[in-house]
A and B are shown apart, each in its own frame.
Chain A
Amino acid sequence: MVVETTTLTPRDGIVERYWAEMYGLPGSDSTAVEDLQRRGRVALSLSSIGSIMAARLHWPIQIVPAATFASFPKSGPPMPRERSAAGWFWDGFYRMFPNAMGDVVFSAVGYDKHRTRAVLMVNHGCGPMCGQGYVVILRRDRTGWHIVTLVITDQS
């Protein structure tokens, strides 16, 4: 399940340090990071490119409106100790998408001035205390875009 709109680039202090670190990642380009910050100020819709992504990926994906995720419960009767309150959200998620293995949220893509390097953030959630966040840096050559750096920014 791919969330239909890109996330806004984070502005809170916890994630701010990643901006500084992004400049130093292998393959990073300062203009691409700055472009990510700029493009990430507005949520972009992925609906129009969902079919293109699906065709390239060879795996079935489904673009899901962010409002659908927002409709899942955020609280309820106390969960067992091993499950956090986020369990209510994920119960709702898997009731609606029983065969899914989680959700993916993309940020906008930031490009360098030559449009041969790109940087973005990706978050994959799969349940309470289950998920990973990544910063991904890519480079384009004659054959297309390729990942050159993938860094885990958070994990649970």
Chain B
Amino acid sequence: MTRPSLVQLGAISLILAACTTGPDPVTRPGPAPTHTSPSATLDDAAVYAAD
């Protein structure tokens, strides 16, 4: 493993920022979720969206 540079010490949200959809994703929704898996928790949401 390599150590991160200062630039890489951003955030998960920065990773997500690199994956943004177009300006209006609501008009182009993806397939309906089919989730039979147990759900992630509210705590998890805060972690995934951390900066």
Contacts and interface: CB of A to CB of B under 8 A. Distances in A.
A44 B1 contact: no
A53 B48 contact: yes
A100 interface: yes
Interface in B5-48: 8-13, 15-25, 28-48
Contact of A45 (B8, B9, B30, B40): B40
Where chain A touches its partner, the secondary structure class is mixed
Given A145-B50, A151-B1, 5 more contacts: A42-B38, A56-B49, A62-B25, A65-B31, A108-B44
Interface of A: 1-2, 4-6, 18, 21, 42-49, 52-53, 56-57, 59-65, 67-68, 96-104, 106, 108-109, 111, 115, 118, 120, 122, 124, 126, 134-136, 138, 144-147, 149-153
26 contacts: A18-B1, A42-B38, A45-B40, A46-B39, A46-B48, A48-B39, A52-B42, A53-B48, A57-B16, A64-B31, A65-B32, A67-B31, A100-B19, A100-B20, A100-B22, A101-B20, A120-B48, A122-B12, A124-B18, A135-B1, A138-B47, A145-B46, A147-B12, A147-B50, A149-B4, A152-B1
